[in-house]
Amino acid sequence: MNPRISQHPTFGAALVFGSCVSLSFGAAIAAQLFPALGAWGVTALRLGISAIVMLAFVRPAVRRWSRKQWRAAILFGMSLAAMNGAFYAAIERIPLGPAVAIEFLGPLVLAALLTRRRSDAGWLALAVVGIGLLGLEGVLGQSPLDPIGVMFALIAAFFWALYIRASAHAGSLIPGNSGLAVALVVAAVLLTPFGVPAAITISTAPTLLLLAVLTALLGSIIPYTLELAALRRVPQRVFGILVSLEPATATLAGWLVLGQHAGPLRLLAIVFVVAASVGVSLVGVRKRRGDPPLSEPATP
């Protein structure tokens, strides 16, 4: 590839978009495993397979780690397990698009708290209106949103916010991808009670095994790799704007893979959430020119 093309910001934007698409279709494929393995079983397999691949490529030198680094990696892994598990439990009960839209409340609230700008309150209010429209659509629509699914999506939103803080803390203490690799191991170990029965099930079902590997590739390995490459080419503020498209790509994946149709109210709600995410990302930098952005949404 031409070095000029690979380093161009447009190429970086394409990488972020590719990550959103990969995550969304990975979640849609994961949903097809739920009847056989359960949401938490699929989560455990996805994180376990991802951990094995990451360890093989990264080979973190953990013997040199301090207690502070270990503590950061463990907290990172705990938030990773809870965020992914709650999100999959949500999409087991409600459509993919609304689940991602609700989950985006986590990074939105965190961004508003970190920046403390008045405009962020307005963007957050817009997101809340969007979530309210989802609730209204659930009441008036032909397929109401399962309240337990909504609850799990809100739990995932909470842990997504914690994940952003934990990943940033681990990244500041642990160089390279070592923190992520160990965090994936921690998350997989925490979910072992769900992972062992799921692993036994797929060991005798090649089709399920193939779908599980595909879920790990599309849901973790490929998007994480694309995002790391993108962040070397585009500013974090731009990254935050682009990743805000994920509720839209999730709605598309739910429609194409799972046949989940979205009515006008649901589509409008997702537009509101995307707009709020873009708005927070646009103003999520300090007023002084040259100050770095405080944070950007991380993907599940």
Sequential DSSP letters for the chain: --HHHHTSHHHHHHHHHHHHHHHHHHHHHHHTTHHHH-HHHHHHHHHHHHHHHHHHHH---GGG--HHHHHHHHHHHHHHHHHHHHHHHHHTTS-HHHHHHHHTHHHHHHHHHHH--HHHHHHHHHHHHHHHHHHHHHHHSSSPPPHHHHHHHHHHHHHHHHHHHHHHHHHHHS-TTHHHHHHHHHHHHHTHHHHHHHHHHHHT-HHHHHHHHHHHIIIIIHHHHHHHHHTTTS-HHHHHHHHTTHHHHHHHHHHHHH-----HHHHHHHHHHHHHHHHHHHT-S-SSTTPPPS--PPP-
Among 50, 32, 37, 47, residue whose Cα is nearest residue 85: 47
What is the per-residue pLDDT for 290? 42
17-71 pLDDT, tens per residue?
888 899 999 999 999 999 999 999 999 999 999 999 989 988 888 888 999 999 9
What is the per-residue pLDDT for 294? 37
Low-confidence ranges of the chain (pLDDT < 50): 2, 5, 285-299
What is the per-residue pLDDT for 115? 63
Q: pTM for the whole thing? A: 0.81
What is the per-residue pLDDT for 240? 64
What is the per-residue pLDDT for 223? 87
What is the per-residue pLDDT for 298? 45
Spatial neighbors of 175 by CB under 8 A, at least 6 apart, are none
What is the per-residue pLDDT for 270? 80
Domain spans in the chain, listed from the N-terminal domain onward: 3-282
What is the per-residue pLDDT for 9? 54
Question: CA-CA distance, 271 to 279, in Å (whole number)?
Answer: 12
What is the per-residue pLDDT for 292? 39
